[in-house]
Structure 1
Amino acid sequence: MERVMENDFIPMIRALWNEQKNRELLYLEALKKDSMGSFRRILSQGHVSAVLFQKEIRWIYDYFKCFLEDKELADNQISSMASLQMLENLTEKEDIASCLKKLEAATLQLYKALCTYMDREYEIKRMLDEHLIRISEFYDALCKMEVSNRKNLEVGDRKKMVYVVAA
């Protein structure tokens, strides 16, 4: 793990923790929305995973940080205030799914970059791989939710158009 001290591993872990904090807050905000229906299950699982992953990332951070130089991870940070404000204004499931999908894509990129540093730390690599798999599943579910809702809207619009033409 000598490479860890030579590079930006610690700031990357910190960024990943902040990204998980963003996930927690955005999923929680999405859960506050009315008429989420079956989408609520994915949202609650996303929220719980974000909280759990934050705890595990905090453990990794504490394991590697230099107590003399590295700061503590701060609670209540959100680096993407614009995303939170945008999500607050959304009401449609596909728009919410699209917003969360972008967040998951950014989180996946951080995990993939971080995994390149984990050559000797098997337990941590395994944990990060598990996070990566689970977030990929959320990303895929959000993609399906976004596409299926748009298709439903398009089919509904076509039915309206057929009805209008027939009338």
Structure 2
Amino acid sequence: MQNLSDNEWIAQTTYCVAELYSRGTQQTLDLGKFQSNGNGHAEDNLIAALVAQTTNGTIPHGTYDLLIILNRSPCTSLMPELKANHVPACMTRLIDLQTNGLGNGQWRFNIQLNYRHLYGGNPATNWNRALNAFGVQQGAASGMAIMHGEGFNDVSVAIEMSKLQ
């Protein structure tokens, strides 16, 4: 599995690395490194790569553990569509992947999501960070295993979180 550089860990751009572990073959597949760009957020680009590799047969049908490591948490929305391109928020898409898989369930994914700090949103405000913390809770409720690093227990975020509950 690739790693994030020190500069990528602290960057304003979202970066992620991911790998699949096949429960059937007990083999690991490095999915690569993804970043936010004109095609979408890092998570959008990861999901696009998964769709491409399942569609072209690189990844056979089955159940997989999907490890995703991000420098910041996935974006979240209280609305089904948040992003300017009208694609659902990244956490919404990851929850769907966790719950429904791909190809009418022919590919199933048990997601472990590790992130360093909360996505601040645009603009970066305590409200947006709290909203993204709420999204992390929704991801955990969907069955994702989630681990986080520094920044999650920020007092300002905790105050905004209390308003969401």
TM-score (ref. length: structure 2): 0.27
* Structure with greater proportional strand content: 2
Q: Work out which structure has the larger RCO, using CA pairs closer than 8 Å and 6 or more positions apart in sequence.
A: 1
Q: Which has the higher helix share?
A: 1
With structure 1 as the length reference, what TM-score do the two structures score?
0.27
Flag the structure with larger Rg: 1
